[in-house]
Amino acid sequence: MTEKLDDILAVLLNRATAAGADAADALIYRSVSDSVSVRLGEVEDIERSESRDLGLRVLIGQRQASVSTTDFSDNALNELVERAVAMARLAPADPYCGLADPSLLAEGPFEDLDMFDGEEPPADVLKQRALDCEAAALGVDGVTTSSGAGASVGYGQSWFATSHGFSGSSTGGSHSLSVSVIAGEGTGMERDYDYGSATHLSDMRAPDEIGRCAGERAVKRLKPRKLESQKAPVIFDKRLARSLLSPLSGAVNGGAIARGTSFLKDRMGQQLFPAHMTITDDPFIKRGFGSRNFDGEGIRPAPLHVIQDGVLTTWILNSSQGRQLGLPSNGRAKRGTGGPPGSGTFNFDLGPGEMSPEELYRDTGKGLLVTDMFGPQINPNTGDYSVGCSGFWISGGVVGEPVSEITIAGNLLEMWLHLTAANDFERKGSTNAPSLRIEQMTIAGS
């Protein structure tokens, strides 16, 4: 058996159709990652992981089955095909399963999306980055100890092919660096963190900058007070603002819509955000964390305005979900080796507004700036939202004293409709947003 991975897929698909499959697709995913963690100047952990997985999906009529393996030997692949075909014959019928519409398939040559710089720093370099980051954080006056720092690099390559003629491969990776430190002593200790993440090392902030920012954040949180329960504007710091988009991407997912479990299932064409606001999902952003030339079924996706001028315009669909809803796929299939395609967004962004964060604080006058939160609770059927948090009280348009032991609550439909965005947009992952102000939320304090 050849070790050229796209040749393995071709052989596997031929064997599947010869064994009785009407159609099939197959995926190989290979990943490599290295990480080093340190604490108080000493190495705590060095890890390297390498994996290579293969997944095969076969379809017989309206029945399908998926199997996966890490054994690429010839005998193992024969057994894989036999098992998949046998399972498909026994599987329950699914009237919506099937390969993608051939007319929608992506065609090469594919654009270079510059998804990884190819740099793989050795462990000693990662170690030094983590040590420098932690040292800068510990050097901030008032910081008393460290919870640790870590540096990592990882990349993955995938090869995907179908029995109806599609074949393609992609590569992506990222570098990351983070640190968490504690300021104060005894019962007055406060913790905070900072991190950086980028597909290219040249786009990363310097280790000492990340460390210093983490230390300063921790010190600012010392001696927090409790708030009285009230209703007031709430600003989500840009580190947390993307958490307001994640419920949207889940609620417009075709799987949730098809099951009828989304609180947005009857909201297509309605205004959900302010009229000036647009939220995009663009698979072709250079150096974007989620960029792809084709989706998990081989379809070429197009950029979407999921929210256009405040209005919900589309669902996030793969082929099966599209068939169930009577719509074409919009190329949002996500695929792992262990099962049939799901769906999801690529680079899901709410872009920058016009005001700087400081201008947003001044415009707010009085309210809560949330800089840390834990345990968000979202009812997927109603959009009711609550989360425990801490942060700072804004008074007279200026960020003032730290506050903690707070719960904020609202309904996402009301929260989204009354958003204001700052201009501090930064790409740190596949979902991104600037600092966001919600006009009013219920704040539960003392």
Residue 445: how many CA atoms within 13 Å on its side-chain side?
17
Domain parsing of the chain, residue ranges? 5-30+49-104, 123-220, 230-244+351-444
What is the CATH class of 123-220? alpha beta
Output the CA–CA distances (angstroms, integers) from residue 1 to 8, 21, 247, 340, in the order listed: 8, 22, 45, 26
pLDDT range class, residue 89, cuts 50, 70, 90: very high
Euclidean distance between CA atoms 203 and 71, whole angstroms:
37
SS3 content of the chain, % helix, strand, coil (to 5): 25, 40, 35
Mean pLDDT of 382-402: 97
| Cis preceding linkage at 109, omega within 30 | yes
Neighbours of 404 (CB within 10 A): 18
Q: What share of the chain has pLDDT > 90, as a percent?
A: 97
133-155 mean pLDDT? 98
Could you give the 3-state DSSP secondary structure of residue 322? helix
| Stated pTM of the model | 0.94
Lookup result for tokens 């994996």: 51
Mean pLDDT, rounded, for 125-131: 98
Give every CB contact of residue 59 below 8 A, 6+ residues apart in sequence: 21, 22, 23, 24, 88, 97, 98, 99
**Which helix H or strand E contains 219, and what residues bound it?**
helix 207-220
> Rounded to the nearest 5°, which phi and psi values hold at 269?
85, 0
pLDDT tens-digit map of 256-292? 999 999 999 999 999 999 999 999 999 999 999 999 9
And the tokens for 345?
């967004």
pLDDT-based confidence at residue 14 (cuts at 50, 70, 90): very high
Residue 6: the pLDDT is: 85
110/292 Cα distance (integer angstroms): 10
Q: What is the pLDDT of residues 20-79, one digit of tens each?
A: 999 999 999 999 999 999 999 999 999 999 999 999 999 999 999 999 999 999 999 999
Does residue 1 register a pLDDT over 80? no
pLDDT at 2: 40
pLDDT of 358: 98
pLDDT tens for 308-353 read 999 999 999 999 999 999 999 999 999 999 999 999 999 999 999 9
pLDDT of 3? 59
- Mean pLDDT of the 391-412 span: 97
Q: For residue 52, give the nearest of 85, 27, 35 by alpha carbon.
A: 27
Q: Which residue(s) pair with 158 in the sheet? A: 29, 170
Q: Which of 399, 38, 374, 402 is nearest to 211 (CA)?
A: 38
Q: Label residue 445 by pLDDT band (50, 70, 90).
A: confident
Distance CA 180, CA 368 (A): 23
- Statement: residue 446 has pLDDT above 90: no
As a whole number, mean pLDDT of residues 356-380 equals 96
What average pLDDT does the segment 118-133 reach? 97
Give residue-wise pLDDT tens across range 168-222. 999 999 999 999 999 999 889 999 999 999 999 999 999 999 999 999 999 999 9
- Rounded to an integer, the average pLDDT of 9-30 is 97
Fold of 5-30+49-104: Double Stranded RNA Binding Domain (3.30.160)
